[in-house]
Structure formats: C-alpha cells, structure tokens
C-alpha cells in the first residue's frame, strides 16, 4: 500500500483512469530456495500497515497458519510522509529488528534509486536488511504452500489443491471489481469513470451475496485464501469506502448476507483480532489529501455491531477444516483498544 494511491504496488491517478501497477520485486521465498531465498525460521521480517487491505491479507494468513514464531512482524505508522512508511510506533522511531526509520531504506538496499513506490506488505531479509519481495498477490499463497514446514500444528489448508482453480477464478473477479474496484471509484477524476467503477463494485457484491446466501464460505466448506481476500475489503467498506471512496449505493450493514458473512469472519480467531479501525480510518482520511483535503477523520460508523450474532453457522461449514483455531494473539501484536469495537 503506497501513499499516493492507497494500495500495494505503484499506483497512478490523475486525469487518466486509476491503475495499479504490478509488484516490482517478485522474488519468492520457497521451500527449495530456488530464487535464492529459502524458507528459514527467523530470517525474514514482514512489514505491514494495519490500515492496508493488501498487507492485512498477509497478517491474517500469518496468524491463521501460526507463522508468528518463524516470521516476525513490523507494524508501520498508518500515516506516511514523503519518505514512505515509517516506524514511528516503535521506540526512537526505528524498527527494533531492522534498525531503520523508513521502509524505503530496505528498498534502497535492494535496488539503489528504485523509482517506484514503497509498498506494503513487504518481506525483508533481516541479515542483509534488503527487501525480498513486495508481491502482495503471491506472498499469502506462498505462506500457504511453501512455508508448510513451519506451520503450526492444526494449521488450516488455505489453498487446497483440489479447489485452486475455483479459488483463482473467484479471487480474480473479487480483485477486479471489489478489491481494486473501490480504488478505481475513489480515485476517479471523471463522472463516467466513477460511475462505471462504482456500478461494477456493487454488481459484484450482489453476485457474491447470492453465492454466500447458500454457503458459509466462498469456496468449499472451509476458510480459504478467497475469504481472506474478500474480507480485507469488506471490513473496511462502511468505515472508509462507503464515504471516502463514494461507494455509497448501500452500506454493508444494509446487506443481510454480506454483513452476516463479514461478521462471521471478523469473529473468527485470526481475522478480527488483526483489524485496527483506528489505523484504517486515520490512514485513508488523512493520507489521501486529494480526496479529503481537510484531513478530518469522521467519528463513525458505530463499531458495536461487529460483535453481534451472525447465525452463519446454520449454513454448516468448518472454519478450519480438519485443523484448529489459532491461539491467542502474540504478545506485542494486539490491536489497541481504540482500534476495536
């Protein structure tokens, strides 16, 4: 998630339609180390912002799979300056493991003078201090398939082999119309461009609601990568996309199926306990000055509904399949009270 466009990877907007560039650093951390980066406990650090939906995918996946002991976590300030994501939440404004003030320093160690945006999620090699990857589309898939030797006992299969084609198809549609669609609407600079993007968002949400009316999860009867990717947009919908990005045909709370679905996930260990509504709201409303030049952060919406009964268990399904829920949130990684319902 880069400051100019509010998303992972480079973004561009202005007189032309919003577009999201692909990740520039696409090395993979794999079991066999074929790109030069072998899976190794304690070697890497995951840098995220709790404000960013793309980074939140990695935070949720890491927690569900139990990779906390193997892969440390750095949480950036939700507000950036022109030098990129900063570690002002840490003592002395430095990440305690990497020793840097700005994520851009890890990018510079990888490629001096890199002209693109500095984005999260990012995985940094601790010994060298170099960025390894900012490939937000691939990171969570590799967590699920390449990091298996370091998964916790009872970790769910988030990308089951038999369902991968269907997961890929669903996530591609969700990405185009929902994950990225809200940004196309929010950063539109023309009426027609905005209306087309906004219409596509709600058209896809309505199709998803029909699908989820008869099944608890998007693909199969357990939580998969598809649910993680949809959740990170839905959980931000009423707080920022409805007002800030003008995706306001209706609120998520007004759609019985989607509101029940996202509450079900929010109340599932590994999802809601990673969400910081304070970081989310402050980032979008204070960083996107082109959309909200005053920087005023709204008081609402009311968050108390997130903890109300959803009754989705009536549809069956097994959240973790043959596995088990993750344990308590790791000490030091808890979401502060001001960011929770």
pLDDT tens for 92-108 read 999 999 999 999 999 99
Structure tokens that stand for 190 in this block: 């023309």
Segment 72-85, tens digit of pLDDT: 999 999 999 888 99
Are both 203 and 133 inside the same structural domain? no
Q: Which of 100, 121, 150 is the last residue of a domain?
A: 150
> Among 164, 168, 157, 95, which Cα is nearest to 126's?
95
Nearest to 147 by CA among 57, 303, 31: 31
Q: Is residue 6 part of a domain?
A: no
| Same domain flag for 199 and 330 | yes
> Do 225 and 334 share a domain, yes or no?
yes
Q: What is the mean pLDDT of residues 261-290?
A: 98
Confirm whether 1 is domain-assigned: no
Whole-angstrom distance, CA of residue 222 vs CA of residue 318: 5
What tokens appear for 25 in the block?
Answer: 């650093």
Q: Are 134 and 248 in the same domain?
A: no
Last residue of a domain, one of 126, 150, 174: 150
Calculate helix-pair angle for 225-234, 136-145, nearest 10 degrees: 140
> For helices 256-266 and 225-234, what crossing angle results, to 10°?
110
| pLDDT surpassing 90 at residue 27 | yes
Q: Report the CATH number at residue 320.
A: 1.20.1050.10
Helical H runs in the chain?
Answer: 53-65, 104-110, 136-145, 164-174, 181-186, 191-212, 225-234, 256-266, 277-287
Shared-domain flag, residues 134 and 187: no
Residue 285 domain-assigned? no
Q: Would residue 267 count as lying in a domain?
A: yes
C-beta of residue 181 within 8 angstroms of C-beta of residue 249? no
- Is residue 281, in this structure, part of any structural domain at all? no
Q: Which of 107, 127, 150 is the last residue of a domain?
A: 150
Q: Is residue 292 part of a domain?
A: no
Instruction: Please report the pLDDT score of residue 17 as a whole number.
Output: 61
Same domain, 52 and 95: yes
* SS3 (DSSP) at 322: coil
Whether 204 and 258 map to the same domain: the answer is yes
182 and 88 in one domain? no
CATH number at residue 60: 3.40.30.10
Mean pLDDT across the stretch 40-67? Answer: 98
Residues designated catalytic: 52, 183
Which domain does 221 fall in, by range?
Answer: 161-274+302-339
Same domain assignment for residues 105 and 221: no
124-176 pLDDT tens trace:
999 999 999 999 999 999 999 999 999 999 999 999 999 999 999 999 999 99
Per-chain mean pLDDT for the chain: 94
Same domain, yes or no: 146 and 181: no
Looking at the domain assignment, is residue 87 inside a domain? yes
Residues 146 and 235 grouped into a single domain: no
Answer yes or no: is 3 within a domain. Answer: no
One domain, residues 28 and 124? yes
Report how many domains make up the chain: 2
């Amino acid at each position: 998630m880069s400051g100019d466009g509010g998303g992972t990877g480079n973004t561009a907007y202005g007189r032309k339609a919003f577009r999201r560039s692909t990740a520039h650093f696409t090395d993979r951390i794999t079991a066999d180390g074929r790109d030069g980066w072998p899976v190794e406990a304690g070697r890497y650090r995951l840098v995220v912002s709790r404000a960013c939906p793309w980074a939140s995918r990695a935070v949720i996946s890491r927690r569900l799979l139990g990779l906390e002991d193997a892969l440390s976590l750095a949480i950036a300030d939700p507000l950036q300056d022109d030098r990129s994501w900063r570690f002002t939440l840490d003592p002395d404004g430095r990440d305690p493991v990497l020793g840097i003030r700005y994520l851009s320093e890890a990018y510079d160690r990888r490629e001096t003078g890199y002209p693109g945006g500095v984005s999260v999620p990012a995985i940094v090699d601790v010994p060298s201090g170099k960025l390894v990857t900012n490939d937000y589309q691939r990171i969570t898939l590799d967590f699920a398939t390449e990091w298996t030797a370091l998964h916790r006992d009872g970790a769910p299969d988030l990308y089951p082999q038999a369902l991968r084609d269907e997961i890929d198809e669903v996530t591609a549609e969700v990405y185009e119309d929902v994950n990225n669609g809200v940004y196309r609407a929010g950063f539109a600079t023309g009426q027609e461009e905005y209306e087309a993007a906004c219409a596509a968002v709600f058209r896809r949400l309505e199709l998803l609601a029909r699908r989820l009316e008869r099944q608890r999860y998007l693909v199969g009867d357990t939580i998969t990568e598809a649910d993680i990717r949809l959740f990170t947009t839905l959980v931000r919908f009423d707080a920022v996309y409805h007002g800030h990005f003008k995706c306001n045909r209706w609120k998520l709370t007004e759609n019985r199926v989607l509101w029940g679905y996202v509450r079900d996930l929010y109340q599932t260990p590994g999802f809601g306990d990673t969400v910081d509504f304070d970081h989310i709201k402050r980032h979008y409303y204070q960083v996107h000055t082109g959309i909200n030049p005053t920087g005023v952060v709204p008081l609402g919406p009311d968050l108390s509904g997130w903890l109300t009964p959803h009754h989705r268990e009536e549809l069956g399904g097994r959240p973790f399949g043959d596995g088990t829920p993750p344990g308590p949130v790791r000490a030091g990684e808890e979401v502060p009270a001001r960011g929770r319902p």
